[in-house]
Amino acid sequence: MRVLVGPESTDLAELYAVPRTPWLRVNMVSTVDGAATGETGTSGSINNAADKQVFDQLRAMADVIVVGAGTVRAERYGPAGKPLVVVSRRGQVPDSLRDAPRGSVLLATCGTAEGLGAARDLLGAEQVLVLGSHRVDLPLLKQVLADRGWGHVLSEGGPHLLRDLLASGAADELCTTVVPRLVAGEHPRITQGPPVDVPLRLHLLLESEGTLLGRWLTDSPTGQ
């Protein structure tokens, strides 16, 4: 991997170090024509070795993983080896995580969620974070995780959650992998939902056999 923009280093831990906590970054992959999924309908059909290397590095560095329930359902997420927070408005724990070891999975949801009682029974009340009445307050989620000692937050998407993290100002950073492929067809982009307009500042750009891996900063208002 070579650095196109950023400090001269080959050490991914150094290149991806976060400047402070709390810090929330989102990591996503897309094709050159903007598809966030490939033929199987998941990101697993477009990612590659360079993306996997950075994906693994970011997971290893984070205190906690935050992911939207739609991504967990589509990609059949299992436990992540560190605390995994599923964001769900409906408050339903996806099937693939129902047998996860107690304490390894948390749910971030809202007070009116239909699945609230069942989620508390399944995960334990401590693991169910009610953050708002009708919607999940994402900046508050970031703060609540920091209060638990998890100041370095990695979100692995998906597109609706990324859009909401950007709109709410909770995201400090977006890491994107652009793989050198075109797929056409009908696929989501890495952001889905109502329009946002979030300027980004390029912090790092790596290249590996045509794959471009960037760190983009949002200068988020919730950053402190």
| Chain residues that interact with ligand NAP, rule: CB under 6 A | 28-30, 36-37, 41-43, 68-71, 74-75, 87-90, 92, 135-136, 138, 156-161, 164, 188, 190, 192
| 22 vs 68 by CB, closer to ligand NAP | 68
- Of residues 88 and 211, the one with the C-beta less far from ligand NAP: 88
Instruction: Give the nearer residue to ligand NAP in terms of CB position, either 69 or 183.
Output: 69
Judged by beta carbon, residue 160 or residue 215, the one nearer ligand NAP is 160
CB 109 within 8 A of CB 91: yes
In angstroms, what CA-CA distances link 173 with 165, 196, 215? 10, 15, 7
Q: Give CA–CA dist 215/204, Å, rounded.
A: 5
Shortest distance, CB of residue 187 to ligand NAP, whole angstroms?
Answer: 8
The least distance separating ligand NAP from the CB of residue 158, rounded to whole angstroms, comes to 3
Are the C-beta atoms of 215 and 14 separated by less than 8 Å?
no
Dist CA 141 CA 139 (whole Å): 5
In the complex, minimum distance from the CB of residue 89 to ligand NAP, in angstroms, rounded to a whole number: 3
Say which residues have a Cβ less than 8 Å from residue 5's Cβ, sequence separation at least 6.
202, 203, 204, 205
C-alpha gyration radius of the chain: 17
Residue type, 144: V
CB of 7 to ligand NAP, least distance (A): 25
Minimum distance, C-beta of residue 8 to ligand NAP, in the bound complex (Å): 28
Max CA pair span of the chain: 51
> Helix (H) and strand (E) counts for the chain?
6, 10
Query: Could you tell me the smallest distance in angstroms from the CB atom of residue 195 to ligand NAP?
Result: 15
Nearest to 47 by CA among 161, 58, 16: 58
Closest CA to 67 of 97, 39, 101, 22: 97
Closer residue to ligand NAP, CB minimum distance, 10 or 68 = 68
Considering the complex, state which of residue 47 and residue 217 has its C-beta at the smaller distance from ligand NAP: 47
Stated as kind and residue range, the H or E segment containing 3 is strand 2-5
